[in-house]
């Protein structure tokens, strides 16, 4: 080969980040395919015996999730959309569920807070794999009065108050040291002043117009029971899984 002849391309070494061919799955895909779902003994769910309202069923499934040892059953995905309709999702804690709706709390100035101000509508998702159960809740979201947010915050731990006092949620953070300084000051204040106000801390209440209960089944005959509210009355339907 002459000195100026183009060098033949060397064969590319397999890149573990590229999609695998069906015949040569990557380590990641092998790991992914080895995972199982609905592979344990799961409870039966008889939708015919379900109550007329979704709330008692939610309370019962929540108690059963706790009894089954489900970790953090009080955490849920919260989906919102911005003014253009673009969606986002994150995990938040459930603060209560009653006749008013499903309660959660956050900062009004955060991304989710701005979404909810622009479009006061959201969806919640609970997944409790210990029993193969999923619950979806959707509906309009209202802001609770400020005294409710104050009471909610001050009934919780010093850490929860300190975290709320730090504020600025979802703003760009210049350095982690800045957070450490703000957090130290907030912890000091939360210990000294357990009633310190955190003005942006807001309790939101999602008033459901649809609640769906999903019971996973090893034979994939999952039971989906949906409750839909029209004119204050709940209607129940089964859905194809």
Ligand X SMILES: Cc1cc2nc3c(=O)[nH]c(=O)nc-3n(C[C@H](O)[C@H](O)[C@H](O)COP(=O)(O)O)c2cc1C
CA neighbor of 236 nearest in space, from 45, 62, 18:
45
Q: Which is nearer to ligand X, 88 or 188 (CB)?
A: 88
Options 26-34, 101-109, 142-150, 205-213: segment touching ligand X (CB under 6 A): 101-109
Strands (E), 99-222: 101-107, 121-128, 133-143, 201-206, 210-215
Comparing CB distances to ligand X, the nearer of 47 and 167 is 167
Q: Min. distance of Cβ 203 from ligand X in angstroms?
A: 10
- Per DSSP, 155 falls in state T
Contact residue for ligand X among 110, 131, 202, 215 (CB under 6 A): 110
Cα–Cα nearest to 153, from 131, 128, 186: 186
DSSP state of 21: B
Is 175 within 8 Å of 181 (Cβ atoms)? no
C-alpha 45/C-alpha 36 separation (Å) is 21
Q: Is residue 112 near ligand X by the rule CB under 6 A?
A: yes
Q: Is 119 exposed, middle or buried (0-12, 13-18, 19+ CB in 10 A)?
A: middle
Task: Read off φ and ψ for residue 77, nearest 5 degrees.
Answer: -85, 135
Q: Does 200 bind ligand X (CB under 6 A)?
A: no
Decide if residue 202 touches ligand X (CB under 6 A): no
Nearer to ligand X, 39 or 88 (CB): 88
Segment near ligand X (CB under 6 A); pick from 5-13, 106-114, 151-159, 184-192: 106-114
Quick one: which segment of 4-12, 62-70, 91-99, 218-226 binds ligand X (CB under 6 A)?
91-99
Burial 164-190 (b: 16+ CB within 10 A, else e): bbbbebeeeeeeeeeeeebeeebbeeb
Q: How many residues bind ligand X (CB under 6 A)?
A: 14
> Rounded to the nearest whole angstrom, what is the least distance from the CB of residue 155 to ligand X in the complex?
14
Displacement of CA 80 from its chain's centroid (Å): 11
Near ligand X by CB under 6 A, which window of 3-11, 38-46, 104-112, 131-139? 104-112
- For residue 12, the 8-state DSSP code is P
106 lines the binding site for ligand X (CB under 6 A): yes
- Does residue 170 bind ligand X (CB under 6 A)? yes
Minimum distance, C-beta of residue 78 to ligand X, in the bound complex (Å): 8
Residue 92 lies near ligand X (rule: CB under 6 A): yes
Residues 60 to 89: which contact ligand X by CB under 6 A?
75, 88
Return the H-helix or E-strand segment holding 218: none
Residues that bind ligand X (CB under 6 A): 75, 88, 90-93, 104-106, 110-112, 169-170
């Amino acid at each position: 080969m002459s000195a100026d002849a183009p060098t033949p391309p060397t064969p590319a070494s397999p890149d573990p980040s590229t999609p695998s061919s069906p015949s040569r799955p990557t380590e990641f895909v092998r790991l992914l395919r080895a995972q199982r779902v609905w592979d344990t003994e799961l409870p039966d769910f008889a939708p015919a015996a379900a109550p007329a309202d979704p709330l008692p069923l939610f309370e019962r499934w929540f108690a059963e999730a706790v009894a089954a040892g489900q970790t953090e059953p009080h955490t849920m995905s919260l989906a919102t959309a911005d003014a253009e309709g673009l969606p986002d999702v994150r995990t938040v804690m459930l603060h209560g569920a009653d006749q008013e709706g499903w309660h959660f709390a956050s900062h009004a100035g955060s991304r989710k807070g701005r979404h909810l101000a622009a479009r006061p509508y959201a969806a919640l998702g609970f997944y409790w794999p210990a029993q193969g159960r999923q619950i979806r809740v959707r509906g309009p979201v209202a802001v609770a009065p400020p005294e409710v947010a104050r009471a909610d915050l001050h009934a919780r731990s010093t850490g929860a108050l300190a975290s709320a006092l730090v504020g600025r949620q979802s703003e760009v953070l210049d350095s982690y040291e800045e957070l450490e300084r703000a957090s130290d000051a907030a912890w000091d204040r939360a210990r000294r002043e357990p009633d310190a106000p955190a003005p942006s801390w807001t309790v939101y209440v999602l008033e459901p117009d649809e609640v769906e209960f999903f019971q996973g089944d090893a034979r994939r005959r999952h039971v989906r029971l949906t409750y839909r509210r029209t004119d204050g009355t709940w209607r129940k339907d089964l859905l194809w899984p």
